[in-house]
Amino acid sequence: MLRTRFTDRVGCSVPVQQAPMGGVATAPDLAAAVADAGGQGMVAAVVLPAPALSEILDEVARRTQGAFGVNFLMPFLDPDTRTELVELAAAKAALVDFFYGDPDPSLVKTVHAGGALASW
């Protein structure tokens, strides 16, 4: 265990955050393995519908007690479903990460309202 501000903040024991890697890190396997190893596991939520994202996050939670989060690529986050997806992510993961653009402030508020940390 190596304690840092990052590990304290996200709840992991090793100061390593897995890169969500776009469309290749949507399966729960890698995020759960990283979380089990003490790092911050990440699920890429690129163009996933809410039911699929929910199933993946539930599976990660079943496989690990470690820290994991969800990443959204801003250009691919559908304006019609983004609030629902971000609410879902914030309810099931400790960290919601936005990349390739600044999130709308309302999305950050949604993350915080769900009890998760927001990063970008």
Q: Under 8 Å CB-to-CB from 85, ≥6 apart: which residues? A: 45, 48, 50, 53, 72, 77, 78
At 13, the pLDDT band (50, 70, 90 cuts) reads very high
Give the SS3 label for residue 60: helix
* Predicted pLDDT at 22: 73
Exposed/middle/buried for residue 12 (C-beta within 10 Å: 0-12, 13-18, 19+): buried
At 26, the pLDDT band (50, 70, 90 cuts) reads confident
The tokens describing 74, both together, are 């801003």
**pLDDT of 23 above 90:** no
**pLDDT of 46 above 90:** no
* Predicted pLDDT at 17: 93
- The whole-number average pLDDT for the span 14-40 is 88
The tokens describing 49, both together, are 């519908």
Q: Count structural domains, the chain.
A: 1
Residues 6, 3: Cα–Cα separation, whole Å: 8
* Predicted pLDDT at 52: 94
At 62, the pLDDT band (50, 70, 90 cuts) reads very high
Per the structure, the complete domain to which residue 74 belongs is given by 5-119
Which CATH number goes with the domain that contains 53?
3.20.20.70
Residues 77, 110: Cα–Cα separation, whole Å: 15
pTM across the whole model: 0.91
**DSSP label at 37?**
T
